[in-house]
Structure 1
């Protein structure tokens, strides 16, 4: 049995993550309906998962995959900079991040799901 890597997180973020789960955006809710219950190729996703000093919108431990759904504020330079720092740190922890815009999730869900499925298929090929 493969030993699970321990991923650090700031315990202070747990309450904030719970608040985010209780106040999800419509796009996050739509995507969650497709990810929950191991619907995505049998993988278990969690939402609003604290990791290190950040909270990922969705996270799958087995795949070491984070998924972010970015609203319009993520187009602002100061937010883009924070997103880059977050993604770099998550990559250092061995986590790959897929980003989708709010609009993509709402209007192009099939494309979003295909991108996630493609990532999973590539991951599985690398494990065999």
Structure 2
């Protein structure tokens, strides 16, 4: 059962180090979106950020919904950037993920619209998400209370 939760691809140590660096040096748009996605805040969906896939790093990923969210800065709108994005998208889609792309400006100026689009994609791809059980809590809600 643990194998089902773990991705089935190997990640090089160089790519893993690159993902860690990207997490530490997030853009403003990434920090804003992460504050909305972390801790299952958007419809109960769990997201990870800067996740290595194949030979690239996805900005945000929800494994349960098989959804990747990419935020694009100005460099992505050049001919070279679009070509690079197309090859990244092909590799990610080959793993069965849907990709949603937003510009950094979209996140900064239209956060609600971006979140609604993401929530809609999650509802379509994983309509029965369940929240994870909190670690360390007991099943019985009265178990921790003292009798008086």
Partner of 1:44: 46
Unaligned runs of 5+ in 1: none
Unaligned runs of 5+ in 2: 130-148
What's the CA shift for 1:126? 9.4
Asked if residue 118 in structure 1 is aligned to residue 120 in structure 2, the reply is yes
Deviations, residues 67-117 of structure 1 (Å, cap 9, x unaligned):
000001100100100100000111111111100000000000000000001
Question: Which is greater in Rg?
Answer: 2
Over aligned residue pairs, what C-alpha RMSD do you find? 1.9
Asked if structure 2 preserves the Cα contact closer than 8 Å seen for 1:66 and 1:96, the reply is yes
Partner of 1:109: 111
Per the normalisation by structure 2, the TM-score is 0.79
Which structure dedicates a bigger proportion of its chain to helix? 1
Asked if structure 1 preserves the Cα contact closer than 8 Å seen for 2:64 and 2:126, the reply is no
Asked if structure 1 preserves the Cα contact closer than 8 Å seen for 2:45 and 2:122, the reply is no
Matches within 5 A, 1:1-128: 4=4, 6-125=8-127
What's the CA shift for 1:121? 1.3
Count the aligned residue pairs: 127
What's the CA shift for 1:45? 0.5
Q: What secondary structure is seen at the aligned counterpart in 1 of 2:126? A: helix
Per the normalisation by structure 1, the TM-score is 0.91
